[in-house]
Structure 1
Amino acid sequence: MKKKYAWLLALSLVLSMFLAACSGGEEKTADDSKDTADKPKVEQVLNFINGDTIPSMDPSLATDEYGFQFLGATMEGLYRLDENGKVSEGIATKHEVSDDGKTWTFTLREDAKWSNGDPVTANDFVYAWQRAVDPATGSEYGPYMMGGVIKNATAVNKGEVPVDQLGVKADGDYTLVVELENATPYFESLTTFGTFLPLNQKFVEEKADTFATSADTLLSNGPFKFSNWTSTAQEWELVKNDTYWDAKTVKLEKMTYVVVKESQTAVDLYEKGEVDRAGLSSDLVDQYSTHDDYTVEPDTSVFYIKMNQTRNPALKNVNVRKAISRAFDKEALVDEILNNGSIVANGLVPKDFVSTPDGKDFREASGDLVKFDVKEAQKFWEQAKKELGTDTVEVEFLGGDTEVSKMMNQYLANQLSTNLPGLKVTLKEVPFEQRLELDTAMDYDMQFAGWGPDFLDPYTYMNLWLTDGGNNKMGYSNPEYDKLVNETATTLAQDAEARNKNFLKAEKILFEDAAIAPVYQRATALLVSPKVQGVFTNAFGATYEYKWASVGAEE
């Protein structure tokens, strides 16, 4: 996800834990029952860390990991991911699809309510989706997620047709009819994503510019709601939303959050029992790897260096980009800087995400497309300097300001300047929200960035680099790449074999052009309290799911 930017190596990442099975088959005696009754009730409260403030809680404007995580906890779309990572009932109970795959008719439940008591209706989806592509809203994700998917989304966003021509209509209060531009194999999973959440039109328009800036200017229709959040808050709480249609399933009464950027501070809070989960930086992993609460959680987020071809003339040169892509030791980075189970990335689509039609992992089928190779890097570098007519090149490297981010930024800058003689790298380390703004404005040379998937299909990664795409933001363009990727969403949408071939060809082109420099696929080393139960990691969308979470008694 853009700027889902799992970028910050967020200190909070989920551990999927399962309820412990009770053993023993003896009948309870009266004394046994009395003992159970006398036990104090476990307080259903969990305390967590967040890596930074939440940039936006407006579903139309959110573009980052934190925003989508908390939207996922406090709201619900047509469907949501269940405890097994499968698409399950949300506000929709079922749907029908036309033979050509272009018309989807959703039946909505009639017992869903907003936290102010209003019913959740089909019009709430119509209004929200129209708002997301309305050019007046200024949404990045609306046109990115809906363009080429929902009928007329791109034309609406360009101002070519009125917003009411978007392919989404309410047929009464509880039937939603969606028309697609093309058959979209992943559309069901797409409806779980934050941009497709409903909005209460009356409430949003009443709050106007203050909408989604505080707990008082938000409405929830999901498992939880905010109790004391503002857009600049360093601490906040989520509490159970009693008006949620499936509130009986939600066991947690409250989750508290505090912004912490340093691993040691996070661990100190964990040791004191003030938080129930803490991410570990590389220097802490060795110290805590034998701790009873230590765990490593793999992820499908991929991190890379973006190279902006519009600001620094040197980065327009493909040999400069090829040299940079091969000039840093990724294995040392994941083993020594991260030391948390992350693995080297030599492509874009991650390992253990999707399979090809013949059942092979996509990453295995595509292979290693760009590896660390100093000799090869220096060959490209010497050629680039000849083409540029210079012995020195200066670039600015944009990165995060957290403890781990700074270590990684410095490592990469040192590797590049050491292995590519004449390259001078200047670091610019800024807070998360500022980095999003600089990316949007394309005000950077090179940038450490990352992406976690929005839906279960290679397209969620491959469409990032389409010419003038909403998440491209680095001036990359290749007509053949565009053709291959666009065909997977149009003429080949219902041909799994042909789509797969196009994806494989397109990924190779991306790295022949050295558009980005892949670095690693994320995992996170954590300390997680054994009392944290039923928290599940999602393969895409919001990083984790708390609907089924609970607090278990610690032994």
Structure 2
Amino acid sequence: MQHKGTYLFISALSLLALAGCGSQASGNNGNSKYAAKQVVNWSENQELATSDLSKVTDTVSFTMLQNTQEGLYRLDKNGKPANAIATHTKITNGGKDYVVKLRHNAKWSNGDPVTAHDFVYSWQRSLDPKTACQDAYYMYAVKNASAINHNKKAPSTLGIKADGNYQLEIHLTHPVSYFNKLLAWPLFYPLNQKAVNKYGKKFGTTSATTVSDGPYKLTKWNGTSKSWTLAKNDQYWNKANVHLTAINEQVSETTTTSYNLFNAKKADETLLSGQQVKNNLNNPNFVKRLPTGTQRLDFNQNKIKAFKSLAVRQAISAAIDRKQLVNDVLQDGSVASNGFVPHGIGNNPKTGEAFDQESQVPGSATYDLKRAKTLLAKGYKETGTKSIDATLSVADTDQAKQVAEFVQSSLQKLPGVKITIKSVPYVQLLTQQANGNYQLTFSGWQSVFADPIEFLNVFAKGSSFNTTGWKNTQFYDLLDQAENQDGNQPAKRWNKLVAAEKILMKTQATVPLYQQAKSQLLRTTIKGIIYNPAGVPFDFTHAYVAG
């Protein structure tokens, strides 16, 4: 996800509005388990970017898609793929061939049936280079996907075929142990071609140009508004088991605003920051979250000559005291990073050792100002420079600004370094990063599933998320071998991913900062939300307000 993934100081959390909390203690259809008013008000600290699944890169939009759309599978409360539109799957040829039967009663919100052709169209569209889907590489295990995305083959050659309206055939180039988890992620969901053709470039830019096949449908979003509603989708095949009638979402750039709304009972949820976490540890509504979402500092080697020097990049990393950052600035339970891949993303299949521990490179994320100054002097000499004057581009949230000021102060302790902070709206920052229009920037990543490849692929060869100018052939080869040769050999694959992480950190491709906590207040009357720390975080399909 940033995902992006970008987590980018986004509350992977989601939504809120000005209606009441809806937690009345009366029954629903005579059942005292449910309140009479099934409405939840949820706070979010970043706006929606798009509702076009081929265009989404951020967690807020992915969360919306997960709740308004549906694919073959949906993750259950244990993070395991469970049938959604799929009713039966047969896997053969060593894990490379899939035959999936689809339910006949799934419908789009416009009344059209959801068919196998909708999946074929969606996948082909995302891989078509004209679509410019940044996440297209997730589909590369599908036969001919990479060639299509690089304009070497026609989309019609993709290894997915509709056998009638209700059966899919999927052919992979190699076995992928986590492929069924990918199929539960919005990029692999279907699209209604009639709607895409009808709205053209405007598809997914407002709620009016969006159609849904999931438990809710997007409403009251004009494309730039800071509020929207997920309303119950009456066309959803399993609507009888969807209890909420609406999830009202409201963007609050500061947790002070959403916190006050929560205390005024105008919101059912709020993200917490700093002192708010400390003040609410004993609050019955307090929920601690530590998702696999990270923040890092990226250098653009194409913009600043000095950043081409390994010594300079190492100096910048060594000048930042991450423990002070999480303990004194964030104060929200976030954890200082010791590498690029965070904690909780996987364990050695033989020894059980956590990936972030096994792959740690001493000194790559350790504070040492004296060493930083020595490295910087070396880097200046290597590049023929005497100073660094760089702009740090960040999102316009309170937390982003606080972290930026800390990093600015830290780096300006180095001789000749001047850092200027530039705050821009979140969606605008995503565009600038995608275009390589920055010198220094905070980038975030939230995994789609719990596997180290989810993070390492950010820097894979040809990745649209790597606009830093960093390249490494050995790193590319290790990822290629891990994915394309060792899919059925977990131990060999694991060792190559560990080696790849070590290369990433030894060459200081980026500066990991912290794994971001997302602690929140969630009203105790809100039940049934499925939380996924290693993917799209919130699924409201079976959520309800208790009576």
TM-score for both structures, normalised by structure 2: 0.93
- The offset of 1:135, in angstroms, is 1.7
| Residue correspondence of structure 1 range 119-138 to structure 2 within 5 A | 119-138=113-132
The aligned runs of 1:448-527 (5 Å cut-off) are: 448-527=442-521
Q: Which moved more, 1:354-363 or 1:127-136?
A: 354-363
Report the CA distance between 1:425 and its aligned residue: 0.9
Displacement of 1:67 in angstroms is: 1.3
Q: Is 1:362 aligned to residue 363 of structure 2?
A: no
Q: 1:37 to 1:382 in 2, by over 3 A?
A: closer
Q: Distance in 2 between matches of 1:382 and 1:171?
A: 64
SS in 1 for 2:289: strand
Aligned residues of 2:5 and 2:445 also touching (Cα < 8 A): yes
How far the C-alpha of 1:190 sits from its partner, in A, is 0.7
Instruction: Spell out, residue by residue over 1:441-466, the C-alpha distance to the aligned partner (whole angstroms, 9 max, x if none).
Output: 10111111111112232111111112
Does 2:370 align with 1:378? Answer: no
Contact 1:467 1:476 in 2 (8 A): no
Asked whether 1:416 is paired with 2:408, we answer no
Query: 1:63-99 CA distances to partner (integer Å, 9 max, x unpaired)?
Result: 1111111000100111111122211111112212222
Structure 2 residue 13 is matched with structure 1 residue 12:
yes
**C-alpha spacing 1:377/1:526, structure 2 compared with 1 (3 Å):** same
Q: Which residue of 1 aligns with 2:335?
A: 343
Change (3 A) 1:68 1:11: closer
Length-normalised TM-score, structure 1: 0.92
- Alignment partner of 1:309 out of 276, 280, 301: 301
Following superposition, the deviation at residue 208 of structure 1 comes to: 1.8
1:167 aligns with 2:159: yes
Aligned-residue offset at 1:294: 2.5
Matched residue, 1:99: 93
Describe the SS at the equivalent of 1:447.
Answer: strand
Q: Which amino acid aligns with 1:295?
A: V
Give the SS at the match of 1:10: coil
Q: 1:490-520 deviations in whole A, cap 9, x for unaligned?
A: 1112111110110111111001100011111
1:243 is displaced (CA, Å) by 1.7
Cα distance in 2 for partners of 1:398, 1:297 equals 27
Instruction: Name the CA distance, whole Å, in 1 between partners of 2:359 and 2:385.
Output: 36
Q: Which residue in 2 is equivalent to 1:62?
A: 56
Shift of the alpha carbon at 1:293?
A: 2.3
- Bigger shift: residues 473-482 or 240-249: 240-249
Q: What do the CA deviations read for 1:462-494 (whole angstroms, capped 9, x no partner)?
A: 111123312111111100000001111111121
SS in 1 for 2:519: strand
Distance 1:293 1:368, change over 3 A: farther
Kept in 1, the 8 Å contact 2:298–2:510? The answer is yes
Residue 479 of structure 2 aligns to a residue whose secondary structure is helix
Deviation at 1:199, TM superposition (A): 0.7
Alpha-carbon separation, structure 1, partners of 2:422 and 2:6: 17
Offset, 1:295: 2.8
CA distance in 2, matches of 1:381, 1:215: 50
Counterpart CA distance in 2 for 1:167 and 1:432 is 36
Gaps of 5+ in 1: 15-32
Matches within 5 A, 1:112-511: 112-142=106-136, 144-147=137-140, 149-358=141-350, 359-367=352-360, 369=362, 370=364, 371-418=366-413, 420-511=414-505
Deviation at 1:229, TM superposition (A): 1.7
Give how far 1:38 is off: 9.6
The answer to whether the 8 A contact 1:192-1:541 is kept is no
**2 CA distance for matches of 1:308 and 1:41?**
52
Structure 1: how far apart are the matches of 2:84 and 2:166? 13
Per-residue CA deviations over 1:178-205 (Å, capped at 9, x if unaligned) read 1112211111111111111101112221
For 2:71 and 2:86, how far apart are their aligned partners in 1?
8
- Report the Cα distance in structure 2 between the residues aligned to 1:415 and 1:39, rounded to whole angstroms: 53
Paired with 2:88 and 2:33, the residues of 1 have a C-alpha distance of 42
Task: Using the TM superposition, give the Cα deviation of residue 13 of structure 1 relative to its aligned residue in structure 2, in angstroms.
Answer: 6.2
Match for residue 90 of structure 1 among 84, 91, 94: 84
Task: For residue 292 of structure 2, give the secondary structure of its aligned residue in structure 1.
Answer: strand
SS at match of 1:114: coil
* 2:21 counterpart residue number: none
Identify the residue that residue 25 of structure 1 maps to in structure 2.
none
Which segment drifts farther, 40-49 or 475-484?
40-49
* One-letter amino acid of the counterpart of residue 205, structure 1: N
Quote the residue 2:530 is aligned against: 536
* SS of aligned partner of 1:233: coil
DSSP-derived class of the 1:386 partner: helix
Contact kept, 8 Å, 1:12 with 1:277, in 2: the verdict is no
Alignment of 1:34-53 (within 5 A): 41-53=35-47
Residues 11, 280 of structure 1: 8 Å contact kept: no
Distance 1:154 1:278 in 2: 41
Q: Which amino acid aligns with 1:391?
A: K
Secondary structure of 2:256's aligned partner: helix
Tell me, what secondary structure is at the counterpart of 1:275? coil
**Is residue 354–residue 457 contact of structure 1 (8 Å, CA) maintained in 2?**
yes
Structure 2 stretches of 5 or more lacking a match?
16-26
Percent identity over paired residues: 33
Q: Distance in 1 between matches of 2:533 and 2:94?
A: 28
* Local SS of the residue matching 1:212: coil
Matched length: 530
CA contact (8 A) 1:83 1:548 kept: no
Cα distance in 2 between the residues matched to 1:137 and 1:198:
15
3-state SS in 1 of match to 2:200: helix
Shift of 1:285: 2.8
- Residues 216 and 9 of structure 1, relative CA distance in 2, 3 Å threshold: closer
Per-residue CA deviation, residues 75-131 of structure 1 (Å, 9 max, x unaligned), is 011111112221111111221222232211111111211112211110000000000
Q: In structure 1, what is the Cα distance between the partners aligned to 2:343 and 2:12?
A: 22
Which letter maps to 2:353? K
Across the aligned residues of Structure 1 and Structure 2, the Cα RMSD in angstroms comes to 1.9
CA distance in 1, matches of 2:459, 2:480: 11
Q: SS of the counterpart of 2:169?
A: strand
Relative to structure 1, the CA distance from residue 9 to residue 66 in structure 2 (aligned partners, 3 Å threshold; closer, same or farther) is closer
Runs of 4+ in 1 over 6 A off after TM superposition: 36-40
Q: Is the 8 A contact 2:34 2:545 kept in 1?
A: no
Distance 1:13 1:290 in 2: 23
What secondary structure sits across from 1:100 in the alignment? helix
Shift of residue 11, structure 1, vs aligned partner: 7.6
What SS does structure 1 have at the residue aligned with 2:386? coil
